[in-house]
Amino acid sequence: MPAAAVAAVAVFINGCQVLLPTAAFQRGDTVLVPVKGVLDRLGAKITWSPESKEVLITTPGLQLELAVGATEARLHGRPILLQTAPELSEGCTMVPLRLVAQALGTDIAWDQRRRRVYLQTGSVGPLAPATIRELMERPDDWVGRLVMLVGEYAGWQPSPFSPGTRNGVPVSQRDWVLRDTTGEVYCRGDITVAAPFALTPYSNVGRRLVVAGVAKLSRAGFIFLEPREIAQQPPPLGLVCTVTTSRRAYVEGETLRIRLRVANPFRTAVRLTCRAGPEYDLIVRDREGKEMWRLSLASPPGPSAGALTLQPDQTRQIEEVWEPSGAGVSLLPPGRYTVKGEWGGVLRSYPHMIAILPRQG
């Protein structure tokens, strides 16, 4: 925006919007916030000198001096240049937010579309279980909080249809994808966190995780997770169960190949007790959740019916072909769909998203 233009900005600290004595605002590329109401909430001690119109910001590891109207500040006694000078607004001293937040060691994210700035201190509160859909639908309720997600490791294979991954990685090219039954979210991969297996691009995809981390907002305005602890989901639910298709996008009327895979990543054999009914199911649903197609295969009779035992590193895999042009099989209209698989009515895959494109001519 033009350098002279001023626009109000909402400030969130640890996920909660704070009421300020004077509204924060953006001028040019700089957001200015009142010292009182923001910096004190970030743990700083504020000392104001009305005679010299100087403000001293201190913490156990910081001493920052700023003066109203001056583009030079002093950090630990050494001069630094400011892009925008502090100023007075309605009796409050306004200071450049990014400089002060970085000096205090506070994480900062900017949502240009909604004109909001998010600040994250070291205190994140108790662990809160959540789904990825909840994070995506109500980011303001979750940014800055410590959340727990249960899902599958999707490696570096984001869906182009998911709002949490279609914008690209939020921090670095090492960021990886976690998928649950409600959606996908990026997890920051450039920080050192102990993991039960290697979080590498194309290996270990489908292994099931419990991830505790801080929800944060990227510069592009979408939410992601900064992991604090990563654990593998124990057996039997820790078995890998993935469903994939030969492509992500199909032309209306094309044959759809669906592959369902179950694998044991553990060092010991795992026995899965199945429910009465089909050995496996493949289901295609539209965006509203309406079932468009289902294929079920009954378990063969015998002593192994109703149970699945997998030895270490053993894999069971099936592939089915859905031919929309076959007798009694309807065409899927153009749109987006989710494909899911179930094994024995107990082990369920996370949704795999595809698109059906209209046939030209």
Structure confidence by residue, pLDDT tens digits, 273-328: 888 888 899 999 998 999 988 989 886 665 556 688 999 999 999 999 888 765 55
Tokens standing for residue 72: 């030079």
pLDDT at 2 over 50: no
Q: What is the pLDDT of residue 1?
A: 46
Residues in the chain: 361
Q: How far apart are CA 169 and CA 88, in angstroms?
A: 39
Q: How far apart are CA 220 and CA 217, in angstroms?
A: 8
Is the separation of the CB atoms in 36 and 21 below 8 Å?
Answer: yes
Q: Give 59 or 65, the one with higher predicted confidence.
A: 65
Q: What is the pLDDT of residue 3?
A: 46
Q: Which helix (H) or strand (E) holds 136?
A: helix 132-137
Domains and CATH numbers, the chain: 6-120 (3.30.457.10), 128-232 (2.40.50.140), 240-357 (2.60.40.2360)
Query: 63 pairs with which residues across the strands?
Result: 58
pTM strictly above 0.75: no
Q: How far apart are CA 58 and CA 47, in angstroms?
A: 8
Q: What is the pLDDT of residue 208?
A: 95
- Backbone φ and ψ for 137, nearest 5 degrees, come out as -80, -30
Structure confidence by residue, pLDDT tens digits, 169-209: 999 999 999 999 999 999 999 888 889 999 988 889 999 99
Q: Which helix (H) or strand (E) holds 32?
A: strand 30-34
Residues contacting residue 24 through CB under 8 Å, at least 6 positions apart: 8, 9, 10, 11, 31, 32, 33, 34, 38, 94, 97, 117
- Burial code of 155-181, b = ≥16 C-beta within 10 A, e = fewer? bbebbebbbbbeeebbbeeebbbbbbb
Q: What is the pLDDT of residue 244?
A: 93
What is the residue whose two structure tokens read 């600290």? 13
Other CB atoms closer than 10 Å to residue 100's CB: what's the count? 24
At CA 261, angle to CA 279 and CA 165, rounded to 5?
A: 125
pLDDT band at 44 (very low <50, low <70, confident <90, very high): confident
pLDDT at 123 over 60: no
* Mean pLDDT taken over the chain: 87
Beta strands per DSSP E along 171-312: 176-180, 183-187, 208-217, 223-232, 240-245, 249-251, 256-263, 270-273, 278-286, 291-298, 307-310
Cα end-to-end distance, the chain, whole Å: 45
What is the residue whose two structure tokens read 């000078």? 85
Q: What is the pLDDT of residue 130?
A: 93
Query: What Å distances lie between residue 359 and 325, 333, 334, CA to CA?
Result: 14, 10, 9
pLDDT at 104 over 70: yes
Q: What is the pLDDT of residue 330?
A: 67
Q: What is the pLDDT of residue 42?
A: 81
